[in-house]
Structure 1
Amino acid sequence: MPTPSIRAVLTDIEGTTSSISFVKDVLFPYAKSRLGSFITEHAADPAVAEALAEARELAARPDLDQAGTIALLQGWIDEDRKAKPLKTLQGMIWEDGYRSGLLKGDIYPDAVAALTAWKASGLALYVYSSGSVLAQKLIFGFTHSGDLTPLFSGYFDTAIGSKLEASSYTAIAKEIGLAPEEILFLSDNTRELDAAREAGMRTIGLDRGEVVIPPDTTHPIVKTFDAIDAATGTVRSAN
């Protein structure tokens, strides 16, 4: 029985379409430096108040005052903790930065070119990142190449499940409405690739030189999107 052709591409962001350094050295410090003033200014806003209450609940510190909650959240930033209320607040702060022009989404040029071509060829494109859906839309919506959000048919964050669990990719395939084997997943994290393949998706890893790819990995590995034949889910040529 022939292998089904690819009908959709699901891509990670950090280390795949964008540099890890942009997230670690630009976005995180930007959010941390503005967290206190943002919360002070917007603490009464319902969405901000809800995120602060959720952070206190998650930390089992319901009696924390505003200053203590800010300190808690700043500590989570330093720990790179994937906490929902923190991601919610970071997204709000980044939105201010993007809309003011202080931030520009740093998307690799080869990713922009490939994603544009794949969309034009009829492939559906989706994003799966540990960052919130708002953060995903912002990084693609305010780039040096313009607004790239029209390229994507949907966005997924860890609300659908951990990126290291096969069940998350099964759930995504169900949401998309395709069989897992009709979806190509791209990531720089081989554990994520393992989980996606376990769910039945086809996988290709990106080696942007920022993480160590295990030498014994069984996933195809490329350095840029140029080497990917998305329609077949294979590597076009050595690179």
Structure 2
Amino acid sequence: MTENGPAAVDAVVLDIEGTTSATGFVVDVLYPYARERFGELLASRGDEPAVARAVAQVRAEIGEPDADAARVEKVLGEWVDADRKATPLKALQGILWAEGFARGELVSHFYPDVIPVLRRWHADGVRLYVYSSGSVSAQRAWFKYSAEGDLLGLVSGLYDTENAGPKQEADSYRAIAASTGIDPGRLLFLSDRPGELDAARAAGWRAVGVRRAGEPYADADFGDHPQAAAFSEITLAARSSS
């Protein structure tokens, strides 16, 4: 990590895609899995509160209050193609992914360096949180159904664009800091996206860019943000006694 000394923090907040886990797994496995099931979900479970709420959000966003299930499914597909981080898309994907993980049809991906470091930080008393554009339900399934078993016990809280806000806005990070009760200067955010690192820093957080070979942002300009190619390169100082 290109930083002057270890980071003195009380908690680490993790991005998932491109940071703890391969973007390719999300794009090549999870996206198609949900896309193939949108139609059935909308047709047979449209009255479920979470589904109905997401559908209403899609209709509001496209300005078509009477859009039928076929139209909503078409819009969802277009958003997937454009890799839009739309909250209702992520909510519906999250429902389907969580069920797929629970049935054993999906197993989440983590880079080899990630889980041992997360376990060490947790054992050292560092609190771990997740902030991803994927829904909280998807995040919960991701950590519960890993190749190394249930990792949810390592995580103190989960945040997405619905309960925290957009990932490139400083107010989202302020909201997370307030929710955790941790001083912003004692929070460390790990992400592969410079815009997210900038937003975290603007909220008073520490931030480290994770630059992984082969990821979409591997060649991004991280400016003066500290960088790491693996979690094993990130050193945390002893936590404060408060």
1:127 aligns with 2:133: no
Q: Deviations over 1:149-191 (max 9, x none)?
A: 1101001111212211222212211111111111111111111
The answer to whether the 8 A contact 2:129-2:158 is kept is yes
Match of 2:193 among 189, 195, 204: 189
- Structure 1: state its 5+ residue gaps: 234-239
1:222 aligns with 2:225: no
Matches within 5 A, 1:175-186: 175-186=179-190
Determine the C-alpha separation between the residues in 1 that align with 2:70 and 2:30.
22
SS of residue matched to 2:134: coil
Give the whole-Å Cα distance in 2 for the aligned partners of 1:32 and 1:144. 24
- Which residue is 1:54 aligned to? 57
Deviations 1:219-239 (A, max 9, x none): 111111011112369xxxxxx
Q: Which whole-Å CA distance do the structure 2 matches of 1:22 and 1:73 have between them?
A: 19
Q: Sequence identity, in percent? A: 46
Query: Which residue of structure 2 aligns with residue 206 of structure 1?
Result: 210
Q: Could you tell me how far 1:42 is from its partner in structure 2?
A: 1.4
For the pair 1:157 / 2:157, whether they are aligned, the reply is no
Range with greater deviation from structure 2 (23-32 or 203-212):
203-212
- Looking at structure 1, the residues matched to 221 and 109 of structure 2 have their Cα atoms a distance apart, in angstroms, of 28
Q: CA deviation at 1:216?
A: 6.2
In the alignment, the residues of structure 2 paired with residue 63 and residue 43 of structure 1 have an alpha-carbon distance, to the nearest angstrom, of 14
Kindly indicate which of the two structures has a greater share of residues assigned to helix.
1
2:120 is the alignment partner of 1:117 = yes
* Worse-superposed segment, 96-105 or 213-222: 213-222
1:30 and 2:33 aligned: yes
1:236 alignment counterpart: none
- Cα distance between partner residues in 2 of 1:192 and 1:134: 22
List runs of 5+ in structure 2 lacking aligned partners: 1-5
TM-score when normalising by structure 2: 0.90
Q: Deviations over 1:191-230 (max 9, x none)?
A: 1111111221111111112123445621111111011112
Greater Cα offset, 202-211 or 224-233: 224-233
Moved over 3 A (4+): 212-216
Amino acid at match of 2:113: D
Other structure's SS at 1:153 match: strand
Q: Tell which has more relative contact order, 1 or 2 (C-alpha 8 A, sep 6+).
A: 2
RMSD, aligned α-carbons: 1.8
2:3 aligns to what?
A: none
Spell out, residue by residue over 1:86-132, the C-alpha distance to the aligned partner (whole angstroms, 9 max, x if none): 11111111112111111001011211010010000000001111111
2:142 is the counterpart of 1:139: yes
The answer to which of 176-185 and 76-85 deviates more is 76-85
Task: Count the aligned residue pairs.
Answer: 231
